[in-house]
Homo-oligomer: A and B are copies of this chain.
């Protein structure tokens, strides 16, 4: 990659995601109302395309190695309100309106524990 291409990726208006060696990009989902981070996952190109097309968040499950429509079985889908991409286009920020609890544990957010003195505490 030459410097111009790098610059285009950083300042340009072209969506040009930089997938990693596994074809994935990090996606962080926040609640558009509270601003809290709900979950962090990965998308491949197919998941990103489907998310942009449908307005519902799709990911790629690394453990199951397949496309994953979040909430497909639970009904707890994530309706996309806004999407952003970072400077070097290797991370996505999805502001979403969640249909229910986002975490598979039943918690609103996957980030329900705080790190305190090397231990985990309920973040309340």
Contact = CB atoms under 8 A, between A and B. Distances in A.
A103 to B, nearest CB: 5
A105 B40 contact: no
Interface size class of A (residues with CB under 8 A): 35 or more
Nearest to A42: B26
Given A40-B28, A82-B114, A85-B111, A12 B120 contact: yes
7 contacts: A13-B121, A15-B120, A26-B40, A35-B35, A85-B111, A85-B115, A87-B107
Interface of A: 10-15, 26, 28, 30, 35-37, 39-40, 52, 82-88, 90-91, 93, 103-105, 107, 110-115, 118-121, 123
